[in-house]
Protein backbone atom coordinates (compact mmCIF):
# COMPACT_ATOMS: atom_id res chain seq x y z
CA UNK A 1 0.00 0.00 0.00
CA UNK A 2 1.58 3.25 -1.15
CA UNK A 3 1.63 6.37 0.97
CA UNK A 4 -0.54 9.09 -0.50
CA UNK A 5 1.26 12.26 0.60
CA UNK A 6 -1.58 14.49 -0.58
CA UNK A 7 -4.10 12.61 1.57
CA UNK A 8 -1.75 12.74 4.54
CA UNK A 9 -1.24 16.48 4.09
CA UNK A 10 -4.98 17.08 3.71
CA UNK A 11 -5.70 15.02 6.82
CA UNK A 12 -3.11 16.89 8.87
CA UNK A 13 -4.39 20.21 7.55
CA UNK A 14 -7.95 19.27 8.51
CA UNK A 15 -6.80 18.14 11.96
CA UNK A 16 -4.87 21.40 12.42
CA UNK A 17 -7.92 23.46 11.43
CA UNK A 18 -10.16 21.50 13.80
CA UNK A 19 -7.61 21.86 16.61
CA UNK A 20 -7.49 25.62 16.01
CA UNK A 21 -11.28 25.96 16.18
CA UNK A 22 -11.40 23.86 19.33
CA UNK A 23 -8.58 25.85 20.93
CA UNK A 24 -10.27 29.18 20.11
CA UNK A 25 -13.63 27.97 21.44
CA UNK A 26 -12.03 26.66 24.62
CA UNK A 27 -10.12 29.90 25.15
CA UNK A 28 -13.35 31.90 24.82
CA UNK A 29 -15.21 29.59 27.21
CA UNK A 30 -12.41 29.69 29.80
CA UNK A 31 -12.40 33.49 29.71
CA UNK A 32 -16.17 33.56 30.24
CA UNK A 33 -15.98 31.07 33.12
CA UNK A 34 -13.12 33.03 34.64
CA UNK A 35 -15.17 36.26 34.56
CA UNK A 36 -18.13 34.47 36.13
CA UNK A 37 -15.92 32.91 38.78
CA UNK A 38 -14.42 36.26 39.76
CA UNK A 39 -17.89 37.81 40.00
CA UNK A 40 -19.04 34.91 42.18
CA UNK A 41 -15.93 35.01 44.36
CA UNK A 42 -16.41 38.75 44.88
CA UNK A 43 -19.97 38.15 46.11
CA UNK A 44 -19.20 35.26 48.47
CA UNK A 45 -16.57 34.73 51.11
CA UNK A 46 -15.48 32.23 53.66
CA UNK A 47 -13.96 28.81 53.51
CA UNK A 48 -16.17 27.50 50.72
CA UNK A 49 -15.21 30.42 48.49
CA UNK A 50 -11.53 29.88 49.30
CA UNK A 51 -11.79 26.16 48.47
CA UNK A 52 -13.58 26.97 45.24
CA UNK A 53 -10.91 29.53 44.36
CA UNK A 54 -8.13 27.00 44.95
CA UNK A 55 -9.85 24.38 42.80
CA UNK A 56 -10.67 26.87 40.07
CA UNK A 57 -7.08 28.14 40.07
CA UNK A 58 -5.83 24.57 39.53
CA UNK A 59 -8.35 24.04 36.74
CA UNK A 60 -7.58 27.38 35.09
CA UNK A 61 -3.86 26.57 35.18
CA UNK A 62 -4.56 23.21 33.53
CA UNK A 63 -6.58 24.93 30.78
CA UNK A 64 -3.77 27.44 30.18
CA UNK A 65 -1.22 24.62 29.93
CA UNK A 66 -3.46 22.76 27.49
CA UNK A 67 -3.92 25.86 25.35
CA UNK A 68 -0.17 26.50 25.37
CA UNK A 69 0.62 22.91 24.37
CA UNK A 70 -1.99 22.96 21.63
CA UNK A 71 -0.34 26.12 20.25
CA UNK A 72 2.99 24.27 20.14
CA UNK A 73 1.25 21.35 18.42
CA UNK A 74 -0.21 23.77 15.87
CA UNK A 75 3.26 25.10 15.01
CA UNK A 76 4.61 21.55 14.74
CA UNK A 77 1.77 20.52 12.42
CA UNK A 78 2.22 23.64 10.32
CA UNK A 79 5.91 22.82 9.81
CA UNK A 80 5.16 19.22 8.85
CA UNK A 81 2.39 20.23 6.46
CA UNK A 82 4.76 22.67 4.75
CA UNK A 83 7.38 19.92 4.42
CA UNK A 84 4.79 17.64 2.82
CA UNK A 85 3.88 20.35 0.31
CA UNK A 86 7.41 20.16 -1.06
CA UNK A 87 7.49 16.38 -1.57
For the stretch 26-83, pLDDT in tens is 999 999 998 988 888 777 777 877 888 889 899 999 999 999 999 999 999 999 999 9
- Domain-located, residue 74: yes
Residue 2 has a pLDDT of 61
Q: How many domains does the chain have?
A: 1
- Of the pLDDT bands very low, low, confident and very high (cuts 50, 70, 90), residue 1 is low
At 70 the pLDDT is 96
CA distance 74 to 20: 8
Of 41, 71, 70, residue with least CA distance to 56: 41
Is 81:13 a contact under the CB 8 Å cutoff?
yes
Domain assignment present for 60: yes
| Within-domain flag for 21 | no
Percent of the chain whose pLDDT exceeds 90: 68
50 in a structural domain: yes
- Is residue 36 within 8 Å of 52, Cβ to Cβ? no
Question: For the whole model, what pTM was predicted?
Answer: 0.77
Q: Residue 65 falls within a domain, yes or no?
A: yes
Inside any domain, residue 35: no
By C-alpha distance, which of 71, 72, 14 is closest to 6? Answer: 14
Q: Are 84 and 5 in contact (CB under 8 A)?
A: yes
Instruction: Please state the separation of Cα 8 from the chain's center in Å.
Output: 23
Domain membership of residue 57 as a residue range: 45-87
Amino acid sequence: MALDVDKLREGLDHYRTTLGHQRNDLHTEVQEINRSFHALFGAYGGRMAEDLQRHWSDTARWFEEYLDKSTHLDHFLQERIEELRHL
